[in-house]
Amino acid sequence: MSSLGGKKIILGVTGGIAAYKTAHLVRLLIKAGAEVQVIMTPASHQFVTPYTLSTLSKNPAYTNFFNDAGEGGTWNNHVDLALWADLMVIAPATANTLAKMANGYCDNLLMAIYLSAKCPVMVAPAMDLDMYVHPTTDRNLALLESYGNLIIPAEEGELASGLVGKGRMAEPETILQTVKDVLLNNLPLKGRKLLITAGPTYEPIDPVRFIGNHSSGKMGYDIAREAAKQGADVVLVSGPSNQKIAHERVKVISVMSAMEMYEACHQYYADVDAVVAAAAVADYRPKEVATEKIKKNSEEFIIEMDKNPDILASLGAIKEKQFLIGFALETQNEIEHAKAKIKKKNLDLIVLNSLKDEGAGFGKPTNKVTFIDKDFNIEPKELKSKEEVAQDIIYKIIKHYE
Ligand code: PMT
């Protein structure tokens, strides 16, 4: 039997230029042995015809609730269709459809089926680059992810508008692979447990002040998201951050200070297969924390500090099976400092980012990293989005366990 033999898939097609690629996607799914039911939005007819997709899928492609107006007409029962499917893929998913899905709109057959579906739902967004990076699209994708939908990210490239950037629908081959991974339950990190740290730590001075740093948490959250997408169960120990994550395989432990992060990491460490320490942990904390707000009575204010434990080094010291990945944030002699950290913290891999590189480090959506392994093999990477850097890091863990 072909790899998807017996699997029932609803393919939702919405009105974007990438709809032309769905003819190829249907072919791939059918060739893999799947039974495919195409559901189209009215707007998608402008880009690909129902006849093409019904011929290729060997099933009528439905658009409307009713096949035949008036008394005695038959209707396409959205609940039956939704329950029939083992998986629903919406590709391409336009900004409009994402907004409807995120907010429960139900003005066409596809949306009614989506709202009735109990099976896994995958979404392959496609739109122009400015629409893709618009905060509402970002929010809608995050909402869909929080509902348990799987997002197949748009790819970089030339767009129909002539602009070049992110927004191009993932290639049909990539979508097919993701379908197989989910339906055949063979995500590469399935059954693996990961501990990931993210964000800054806040070291309190008094009830209103703290010593912190510029980490937004994005790097760590993107790593957690990618790990979960690849099937891992993730414990994300996060310092204070505005980043959001809602995934059934990610457990978020929110902490404030380095000491709290230390406790949380050690609580989960024995059980995990790999650790990625992306947090920017304060090396020192005020010796004493005032219980009341400190008044500005003198010209000078000196804070005595105690050294915080090095969380990663403490995990490295008791390492058994764990694959340990640390970060190094440097401003000078980057490679030497990073190599020293590998030894000192007993790491398997370090991800070096330098604040000297434009687009790298704190707060930004991008990062430029160099991987250095424990044998000091050096692998520089180009400037990438943090999502892509996260993919590269998780790929290292996948390769380690292959
Ligand atoms: O959060 P973003 O805005 O997306 O920014 C991402 C980032 C720049 C914070 C991230 O890419 C990064 O570099 N994180 C590590 C920052 C850091 O503290 O580097 P370091 O070289 O000082 O520490 C080395 C390693 O030891 C790190 O893995 C760190 O998590 C860990 N460490 C450090 C000190 C300490 N007391 N305990 C630790 O575990």
Which whole-number Å values give the CA distances from 192 to 198, 272, 273, 322, in the listed order?
19, 7, 6, 11
CA-proximal residue: ligand 1, atom 26 (nearest): 312
| Beta partners for residue 98, in sequence order | none
- Residue 137 in tokens: 């699209």
| 272-299 average pLDDT score | 96
Q: Which long-range contacts (CB under 8 A, 24 or more apart) does 257-261 make?
A: 257/201, 257/202, 257/203, 257/204, 257/282, 257/285, 258/201, 258/203, 258/282, 258/285, 258/308, 258/309, 258/311, 259/285, 259/308, 259/309, 260/201, 261/197, 261/201, 261/237, 261/311
Q: Rounded mean pLDDT of the chain? A: 94
Residue 226 near residue 387 (C-beta atoms within 8 A): yes
pLDDT of residue 161: 81
290 CA → ligand 1 middle, Å: 27
pLDDT of residue 29: 98
- 341 among the known binding-site residues? yes
237-270 pLDDT, tens digit per residue, is 999 999 988 777 899 999 999 999 999 999 999 9
pLDDT of residue 273: 98
Residue 87 near residue 9 (C-beta atoms within 8 A): yes
User: CA-to-CA distance for 396 and 189, rounded, in angstroms?
Assistant: 11
Among 211, 261, 281, residue to substitute to test ligand 1 (most atoms within 8 Å of Cβ): 281
CA-proximal residue: ligand 1, atom 35 (nearest): 310
304-355 pLDDT, tens digit per residue, is 999 999 999 999 999 999 999 999 999 999 999 999 999 999 999 999 999 9
User: CA-to-CA distance for 250 and 244, rounded, in angstroms?
Assistant: 11
Q: Kindly report the three-state secondary structure assignment for every residue of 315-341.
A: HHHCCCCCEEEEEEEECCCHHHHHHHH
Model pTM?
0.77
**Dihedral angle computed from the Cα positions of residues 346, 348, 350 and 351, in that order, rounded to the nearest 10 degrees:** -150
Straight-line distance from the first to the last Cα atom of the chain, in angstroms, rounded to the nearest whole number:
26
Atom of ligand 1 nearest to the CA of 386: 4
Integer-rounded Cα Rg, in Å, for the chain is 25
Atom of ligand 1 nearest to the CA of 312: 39
Q: Which residues are near ligand 1 (CB < 6 Å)?
A: 197, 199, 215-219, 258, 277-281, 283, 308, 310-312, 326-329, 341, 353, 361-363
pLDDT cut 90: percent of the chain above it: 86
279 CA → ligand 1 middle, Å: 5
**Has residue 37 got a pLDDT over 70?**
yes
53-86 pLDDT, tens digit per residue, is 999 999 999 999 887 655 666 788 888 899 999 9
Among 329, 346, 370, residue to substitute to test ligand 1 (most atoms within 8 Å of Cβ): 329
**Do you know the residue count of the chain?**
402
**DSSP sequence for 90-136:** EEEE-HHHHHHHHHT---SHHHHHHHH--S-EEEEE---HHHHHSHH
Identify the CA nearest to 312 among candidates 284, 285, 281. Answer: 281
- Residue 189 in tokens: 């990190």
- 345 among the known binding-site residues? yes
**Has residue 155 got a pLDDT over 70?**
yes
Which whole-number Å values give the CA distances from 342 to 189, 310, 352, in the listed order?
24, 13, 11
- 283 among the known binding-site residues? yes
CA-proximal residue: ligand 1, atom 13 (nearest): 329
Q: What is the largest CA-CA distance in the chain?
A: 88
198 CA → ligand 1 middle, Å: 8
The number of beta carbons lying within 10 Å of the beta carbon of residue 265 is 24
pLDDT of residue 72: 66
275 CA → ligand 1 middle, Å: 13
pLDDT of residue 79: 87
Atom of ligand 1 nearest to the CA of 222: 4
Mind telling me the catalytic residues? 213
Atom of ligand 1 nearest to the CA of 341: 24
pLDDT of residue 71: 60
68 CA → ligand 1 middle, Å: 62
The structure tokens 């998780």 sit at 394
* DSSP secondary structure letter of residue 44: G
| Beta partners for residue 326, in sequence order | 277, 350
156-194 pLDDT, tens digit per residue, is 888 888 888 889 999 999 999 899 989 988 789 999 999
CA-proximal residue: ligand 1, atom 23 (nearest): 328
- 327 among the known binding-site residues? yes
| Beta partners for residue 327, in sequence order | 351
User: CA-to-CA distance for 145 and 93, rounded, in angstroms?
Assistant: 14
pLDDT of residue 51: 97
CA-proximal residue: ligand 1, atom 31 (nearest): 312
361 CA → ligand 1 middle, Å: 10
pLDDT of residue 77: 85
Among 201, 215, 368, residue to substitute to test ligand 1 (most atoms within 8 Å of Cβ): 215
| 204-230 average pLDDT score | 96
User: CA-to-CA distance for 5 and 176, rounded, in angstroms?
Assistant: 13
pLDDT of residue 68: 62
